[in-house]
Amino acid sequence: VSGLAAAAGTTITTVATRNPVKGGDGFAALGQINATGRDLGAVSIDGDLGRILAGDATTATPGVADLTVYSMGRFGTVTGAIDLTSTIRGTVGSLIVRADIKGAFLQVIGGVDGRLDTLSVGGSMIGNSVANSGRVHSEGSMGKVSVSGDVIGGGGTHSGAITTFRDIVSVNIGGSLIGGSSTFAGTILSDYLGGGPKPGEVGGHIGPVSIGRDVLGGSDTAAGTIISESGRLGNVTIGGSLLAGSANRSAHIHSNLEMGAILIGGSVVGGNGAQSGQIESKLTMGTVTIGGSLKGGIGEKSGQVTADIDLGNVSIGKNVVGAEGKDSGQVFCGRDMGSVTIGGSIRGGTNDASGRVYAGQAMGAARVTGDIVGGAGRASGRLDGIGMPSVLVGGSVRGGKGDTSGGVEGRGGNIATLRVTGDVVGGAGVGSGTIGANQLGIVTLGGSLIGGTSSYSGQIFSTIVINNLTIAGNIRGGSATGTQDLVWTGLVHCASGRIDSLTLGGSLIAGTDATTGTFEHNGAIRAGNNIGRIAIRGSIVGNATNAAYILAFGQQIPPAGSDVAIGAINVTGRVEHALIHAGVDSFGRSNADAQIGTVTVGGDWIASSLVAGAQAGADGVFGTQDDAKFSGAFTRDAAAVFSRINSVIIGGQVVGTEFTGDHFGIVAESVGSLSIGANLIPLLAGKHNDEILLAPLIDGFFGDLRLREI
């Protein structure tokens, strides 16, 4: 009818009836309708349609009022169509396909006027090896889209696709979105004005998208995808899983602007390609709910949820698991993240930042039912945000081989409450297996704090304050052999501030030094300013190679006349090979005014020193004549304040060792009182005047422990 001017606005209807004699299926296939240059009214084909050409040069008028067919492209070109490409110039009110679109391509052109107001497919959209096969495209906006079955990409580019150069109101696919073996095969795509994304371009928004089953990535770039190249993407609901294929950006959900809420009933799994199995917003993203796991793959940023700015609440029913790809198995946002709930564990992979939940700024309350475990990758297996109101880990925090792997960190922010039901364990990576923040409020560890085999592993640390720390088990430092350097493992550390209260249900146990390398502070508690109180239900246990340390500098702003560095220490068991030292910090400062309140030990005091405001002399040990008060350019020394230990109560014996050359002491300018085994040791009033041998030579043990007022 293209040559008939009178055909403009024609309504075309075909009706097929089953022949009672010859049979048939009651449908009649039509090869093509050629109304080139002519607008048509409603077109209804009671069977398959190969192709349709319609629409005049005036795109403001509908090219086809409505198009209803049983199927499109089902019989290929055998019914008379030259090819399976349909072109309609001007708006189409509705396209209703009762069964499948198979291998056919329908495009509505005319720029902004090339709208498709409604698309309804009762079956599936099926692509093949031909480009654009199984595709519906509009240059103008597309209204509501409904596909009862699947959208299946093939071997041709943009095969099995729903695409537009403008907006899509909504998309509902009852089955799966399946990527093919060519670019953009199996896709929902808004490519604003065509030609891919361009700098500064804004438009081409997609409303809510619902997929009843899975989104399966394909074997070529962007196969199996939902993409708003230059616009927003509404809520995305996937009843099954988002499963990557082998190519880059396969099983990829992308919005160049804001993205709505994400609900995935199954898992998100990355693959071999970069950004495969990725959900990405270049601005903000709403809440994210994944019923299964988030798993990385070999590709960089595979199995990832990422928003450049803010991300809403995140809930993952099972695990977050990193893999071989950098940033794989990761939840990431550049700014604020809402609450985080992980029903299983966070596990790092073999590449950097894999298996990680990371907020560039603040993070809401976080709950991990299982463990947080580092992997071989640097910063893998971590929960990171600049401050969190609360963190609950139902299992343990364990470092891995990667540096800073396996940790919870408030990165310059504060964590108000933090509970780990199990242990915090350092690994083979530097700084692995740690908990830290600028300020730590109430921290509860149900197990032990255990140093690893690399420096700075197995730590609980803060910059300004640790308010209240309770560890049910032990603090145990790491050990080293050979030529290895090992420092600061099995450590509670407040770098520039105070520890208000620390309760240890077990013991403070130092590691063993069997190395020729540097070995220090492995099994220690230290504060850059002061410690309020420490209660240890077990013992403080160092060894002949390495002392267990409790160290503090002094108050940040001491009141007039005093400078209490350590308020009180209560040890139920014994103190053995320990150094409790007030007046030192990790920055090279010293405090000649540092004071210690009450030290109570239920058991024996063995080969240990208790020191306030003093330094050892050239012999490097305390309890000898060259002990002296701190002095120097970086020493605090107020004229009206002196170092003091108020009270020492030891329930058991005080003994040294059987070795020569070692000495131990209770050393300060003044010691208020000393009780050993329920016996009060007489001391002179005042300062600088007591020197008492506390461990005389008995049964082979040398007299090497003294009280000295310097």
Banded model confidence at residue 396, pLDDT cuts 50, 70, 90: very high
With residue 109 as reference, give the H or E element that holds it. strand 105-109
Q: What is the DSSP string of 318-335?
A: S-EE--SSTT-SEEEESS
Amino acid at 281: S
Query: Which residues are bridge partners to 382 per DSSP?
Result: 356, 407
Amino acid at 676: I
Banded model confidence at residue 515, pLDDT cuts 50, 70, 90: very high
What is the maximum span of the chain, computed from C-alpha positions, in angstroms? 127
Span 587-625, pLDDT tens digits = 899 999 999 999 999 999 999 999 999 999 999 999 999
- Which is it for strands 691-693 and 705-709: parallel, antiparallel or unpaired? antiparallel
Alpha-carbon dihedral angle through residues 310, 313, 314, 315, given to the nearest 10 degrees: -170
CA gap 653, 232 in Å, rounded? 74
Banded model confidence at residue 123, pLDDT cuts 50, 70, 90: very high
User: In which residue are the tokens 């349609």 written?
Assistant: 49
Q: What is the pLDDT of residue 330?
A: 99
Span 207-251, pLDDT tens digits = 999 999 999 999 999 999 999 999 999 999 999 999 999 999 999
Q: What is the pLDDT of residue 700?
A: 55
Q: What is the pLDDT of residue 40?
A: 97
Banded model confidence at residue 7, pLDDT cuts 50, 70, 90: confident
Mean pLDDT of the 488-502 span: 98
With residue 629 as reference, give the H or E element that holds it. strand 628-629
String of b and e for 159-173 (b: at least 16 CB within 10 Å)?
Answer: bbbbbbbbbbbbbbb
Q: What is the DSSP string of 246-305?
A: SSTTTTEEEESS-B--EEESS-EE--SSTTTTEEEESS-B--EEESS-EE--SSTT-SEE
pLDDT at 20 over 90: no
- Residue 697 burial (CB count, 10 A): 11
Whether 489 and 449 have beta carbons less than 8 Å apart is answered as no
Q: What is the pLDDT of residue 156?
A: 98
Q: Is 581 helix (H, G, I), strand (E, B) or coil?
A: strand
Mean pLDDT of the 480-504 span: 98
Q: What is the pLDDT of residue 196?
A: 82
Q: Kindly report which listed range (192-206, 321-335, 633-647) carries the lowest average pLDDT score.
A: 192-206
pLDDT at 546 over 70: yes
- Residue 44 burial (CB count, 10 A): 15
CA gap 464, 591 in Å, rounded? 19
Give percent of the chain with pLDDT exceeding 90.
92
CA gap 385, 402 in Å, rounded? 19
Distances (CA, A) of 141 to 166, 171, 258, 327, 526: 5, 13, 19, 36, 65
Q: What is the pLDDT of residue 167?
A: 98
243 CB burial (10 A radius; 0-12, 13-18, 19+): buried
355 CB burial (10 A radius; 0-12, 13-18, 19+): buried
Mean pLDDT of the 566-591 span: 97
CB-based contacts of 384, cutoff 8 Å, min separation 6: 356, 357, 358, 359, 363, 407, 408, 409, 411
Q: Kindly report which listed range (187-201, 334-348, 580-594, 623-637) carries the lowest average pLDDT score.
A: 187-201
Task: Say how far residue 610 (Cα) sits from the centre of its chain.
Answer: 43
User: In which residue are the tokens 């090992």 written?
Assistant: 486
Q: Both tokens of residue 511?
A: 């590691």
Banded model confidence at residue 701, pLDDT cuts 50, 70, 90: low
CA gap 95, 43 in Å, rounded? 10
CB-based contacts of 444, cutoff 8 Å, min separation 6: 418, 419, 420, 469, 470
pLDDT at 697 over 70: no
Banded model confidence at residue 627, pLDDT cuts 50, 70, 90: very high
More confident residue, 194 or 53: 53
Q: What is the DSSP string of 561-577?
A: T--EEEEEEEESS-EES
Q: Where are the beta strands (DSSP E) in 400-559?
A: 407-409, 414-420, 424-425, 434-445, 449-450, 459-471, 475-476, 480-482, 486-487, 491-494, 498-504, 508-509, 513-515, 519-520, 524-527, 531-536, 540-541, 548-552
Distances (CA, A) of 28 to 13, 48, 69: 12, 7, 11
Q: For the chain, what is the mean pLDDT?
A: 97
Banded model confidence at residue 121, pLDDT cuts 50, 70, 90: very high
pTM for this prediction: 0.95
Phi, psi (degrees; rounded to nearest 5) at 487: -135, 145
CA gap 476, 208 in Å, rounded? 53
Phi, psi (degrees; rounded to nearest 5) at 689: -130, 5
CA gap 134, 130 in Å, rounded? 9
Whether 418 and 390 have beta carbons less than 8 Å apart is answered as yes
Amino acid at 589: R
Q: What is the DSSP string of 639-695?
A: TT---EEEEEEESS-EE--S-SS--EEEEESEEEEEEETTEEEP--SSSS--EEE-S
Query: Which residues are bridge partners to 494 per DSSP?
Result: 462, 527
Q: Compute the radius of gyration of the chain from its Cα atoms.
A: 37
CA gap 368, 219 in Å, rounded? 34
Q: Is 369 helix (H, G, I), strand (E, B) or coil?
A: coil
pLDDT at 579 over 70: yes
CA gap 513, 480 in Å, rounded? 6
Q: What is the pLDDT of residue 684?
A: 96
pLDDT at 8 over 90: no
- Of the candidates 189, 192, 199, 198, the one whose C-alpha atom is nearest the C-alpha of residue 221 is 189
CA gap 591, 651 in Å, rounded? 30
Q: What is the pLDDT of residue 9?
A: 86
String of b and e for 193-207 (b: at least 16 CB within 10 Å)?
Answer: beeebeeeeebbbbb
Banded model confidence at residue 702, pLDDT cuts 50, 70, 90: low
Q: Is 1 helix (H, G, I), strand (E, B) or coil?
A: coil
Span 248-300, pLDDT tens digits = 999 999 999 999 999 999 999 999 999 999 999 999 999 999 999 999 999 99
CA gap 136, 148 in Å, rounded? 15
Whether 108 and 134 have beta carbons less than 8 Å apart is answered as no
pLDDT at 699 over 70: no
Q: Both tokens of residue 201?
A: 């371009």
Banded model confidence at residue 661, pLDDT cuts 50, 70, 90: confident
Whether 131 and 161 have beta carbons less than 8 Å apart is answered as no
pLDDT at 698 over 60: no
CA gap 511, 454 in Å, rounded? 12
CA gap 607, 665 in Å, rounded? 9
Q: Both tokens of residue 404?
A: 């800073």
Q: Both tokens of residue 322?
A: 């990193």
Distances (CA, A) of 627 to 426, 554, 638, 681, 693: 36, 20, 19, 21, 15
